[in-house]
Homo-oligomer: A and B are copies of this chain.
């Protein structure tokens, strides 16, 4: 999939060996799993073990920790962006919204280990992707609101923040922590959902 090495044009000099490509995929997948379960501070050895690969291979691929984290983020964001596109393509605005909301919540829950300090990692490319995802979700939310299917008393960013409610804090999205406020809103909604009268 993605490689840190110079991409091979057409029939250039360095074709990138098959095993290298295979391992690159394994390492990235393992890193995602490891980061999700353990957090940003997983050891390289742990990732290597998870990938069934030697440590050297991981270090060779990602000499800097930031590069690895950026790759993980890029991978995740790519998935989410695709999900958001699907949601926006959905005829029913509510259905689109709720499925995206569910996916985001699920994702956030699975990646609780990532919480906080994600802005540090991943350069402008990741920032760009995150921006794209934010913009798409804004559209999905506002469309549902425009059609009267979704409460209008919450600005879209607040709705998005609720995404993190079933887990801890929104981590991929890079929302400001603001735990007091956001947390309170989540509670309000939960209570509204529970109340019968």
- Give the contacting residue for A150; candidates B187, B190, B196; CB below 8 A: B196
Beta-carbon contact of A196 and B151 below 8 Å: yes
Q: Do A149 and B187 contact each other (CB < 8 Å), given the known contacts A168-B167, A179-B109?
A: no
Say how many copies of this protein the assembly contains: 2
- Nearest chain B residue, comparing its CB with the CB of A110: B179
* Interface positions of A from 134 to 170, Cβ below 8 Å from B: 148-151, 154, 159, 162, 165-168
Residue A90 is within 8 A (CB to CB) of chain B in the complex? no
Shortest CB distance A170–B (Å): 12
Beta-carbon contact of B190 and A194 below 8 Å: no
How extensive is the interface on chain A, given as a class? Answer: 20 to 34
- Give the contacting residue for A187; candidates B105, B186, B192; CB below 8 A: B105
- Give the contacting residue for A195; candidates B109, B150, B195; CB below 8 A: B150
Shortest CB distance A71–B (Å): 26
Residue A191 is within 8 A (CB to CB) of chain B in the complex? yes
Residues of chain B within 8 A (CB-CB) of A101 are 187, 190-191, 194
Beta-carbon contact of B165 and A190 below 8 Å: yes
Residues of chain B within 8 A (CB-CB) of A194 are 101, 150-151, 154, 159, 162, 189, 193
* 5 nearest CB pairs, A to B: A193-B193, A189-B193, A192-B193, A166-B186, A165-B166
